[in-house]
Chain A
Amino acid sequence: MTSAQETMTSRERVLAALNGDPVDRTPVVNPTSIATVELMDMVDAPFPDANREPELMARLAECGHTELGFDSVMPVFSIIQDSSALGCKIQWEQKDNWPTVKMTEPIYDSADDIEYDIEALLAHPDTQCVTEAIRILRDRLGDDVAVIGKTMGPWSLAYHTFGVEPFLLLSLDDPEKTKEVLQRLKRITIDFGVMQVEAGADALTLPDHATGDLVSGEYYHRYLEELHQEFAEAIPAPLILHICGRTVDRMPYIANTGMAAFHYDSKNDPAESMEAVGGRIRLVGNVNNPETLFARGPEEVRAEVIQNLEAGVQMVGPECACPLQTPLENLRAIPETVREWHAIQESE
């Protein structure tokens, strides 16, 4: 099966899709990590060092395009760089596992505790690692491939700094204080995001985990919708909001934010999700990680990719950071399927 003729560079394709403009084929995008232990070996850039050293971070991210055929590269594999710079304790783990914030040792107890020097935070080695990796990737990939950065939203930062349960209790006990927490943390989201754009990022993923298994869609509307609108205005690059879990109930609100795209989870049906956003925001996703990409084979991956393409989802990729042991053949199946599908559409 021959691929359809491609007339755009990967970068052009991704930016056009984020903007809602015509594309030559559906881009294959990873707003979240597609790093695996095998890719780490391929370019000798293992975790945890690849989360802390710019050259390793860039090298591992580059594989996403050069080895797997994705249209984007995204070097911020984990979700802890900003929290580390804020002072959270991090468990850096080993090559085969993700670094995590030790949320059992929160650094904040109340909104009044939130104090940080934004300049120092942006100069921290873990935030600087990201911007330097973006510079390296921009330099190496030129204008051909989209470089996507990542900046954590204030809800996620609050989980990391307060602990999940204390912050959720606060959200019920004292909505005003909760809003104050988000207001105090939002500067990190904006400034770290802007720094990455200035370093050369074409777009940013913005994870903000107001997930469906924890909070209602109404919570998103109450606490985050306006803030996310603010981010869309303040950060000069397309934003891809990422929220895990079942989120169809909040997709209509998310579509109001003015963000370029929403990266959605496999718990949401593609057609149902497209209807929920009503064309007001693009979707990226949503190939299942634990059951499909990790545990099954290329045929199962293909089926989920096609389901997204047939629903009209604008960008296709894994639903979230793929497990580090994911077989490369499964990740490669995503761009292969997209090309084959478009070739069939063109020939019909």
Chain B
Amino acid sequence: MTELNEVTNEFIRGEIDEFVERPEERERMISMFAACRPDMLDIGAALIEGEDGVVDELTRAQLDAGTEALEVMDDGLIAGMALVGIKFRENFIFVPEVLACARAMKAGMAHIEPILSDAGIEPVGKVVMGTVKGDLHDIGKNLCIMMLRGAGFEVIDLGVDTSPDDFIDAVEEHRPLVMGMSALLTTTMPNMGKTIDAFVDADLREAVKIMVGGAPVTPEFAEDMGADGYGKDAMECVAIAKQLVGVGSGA
């Protein structure tokens, strides 16, 4: 088991210690950050503090120095955002702070996205992603989208408050292999089931694989409502998506 002191960035160590309370989540965060290089942790730390100017500068510097865009994205930006997501879920921070972190993320991604698009990677598959009807939270969804794009998926972002009809429209228009739904509230979670039902009613259930995720969602809930896959966080989202399209081992 990786120890907290193996995370070399003091600020991030402090964040994990103070804000990540669930044992399995703590273990995962520690392992993840312990495996990141110090330069990546600096980017992550700046993002967690909402310092968009610093994230912009550090990201550019790393790319200029030859660091792979995917490493900066995964280990710098997405890792940092994962911690932000936990703090927000547990009400340690609120929407203003999250908006500032999202702004910092955007500042970093502005340098990374062009590189990834130019790389000419053959898409692994197409995914449609949205937060369900009634839910205005998008952190989890946005993290998944970034991870999926980083892994080579083409992702269509439907945004938040997505109705069953909008999901169906998107699947009919884009013909993705996978559709992902996220919910952050227990009150909006049932809309995942309603959306899957709507696909059944429209005789389209077989047209797409459906994966679900979000803080209140459990594997049992996912199974009950008829989803094909469940991911507990953005990191798992890629593995599930790969599994559903039949690519590699899903890791």
Contact = CB atoms under 8 A, between A and B. Distances in A.
Interface stretch (A97-105, A213-221, A310-318): A213-221
A214 B100 contact: no
Nearest to B187: A291
Interface string B75-106: 00000000000000001001111011001000
Contacts of B91: 216
Interface string B42-78: 0000000010000000000000000000000000000
A173 B49 CA distance: 12
| Interface SS, B side | helix
Contact of B94 (A165, A169, A173, A214): A214
Contacts of B103: 169
B94 A216 contact: yes
Interface string A148-187: 0000000000000000010011011100000000000000
Interface in B190-205: none
Contacts of B94: 214-216, 219
Contact of B100 (A173, A216, A219): A173
A213 B89 CA distance: 11
Contacts of B97: 172
Interface in A277-309: none
Nearest to A171: B96
Nearest to A173: B100
Contacts of B50: 172
Contacts of A172: 50, 96-97, 99-100
Interface in B133-176: none
Nearest to A169: B99
A263 B94 CA distance: 23
Nearest to B95: A214
Contacts of A214: 94-96
Interface string A46-66: 000000000000000000000
A213 to B, nearest CB: 8
A270 B94 CA distance: 24
Contacts of A169: 96, 99-100, 103
Contacts of A216: 91, 94
A173 B103 CA distance: 12
A213 B188 CA distance: 14
Interface in B110-131: none
Given A168-B95, A171-B96, A172-B97, 8 more contacts: A165-B99, A169-B96, A169-B100, A169-B103, A172-B50, A172-B99, A214-B96, A219-B94
- 4 A-B pairs with the lowest CB-CB distances in the bound complex, closest first: A172-B96, A168-B96, A214-B95, A216-B94
10 contacts: A169-B99, A169-B100, A169-B103, A172-B50, A172-B96, A172-B99, A172-B100, A213-B95, A216-B91, A216-B94
Interface of B: 50, 91, 94-97, 99-100, 103
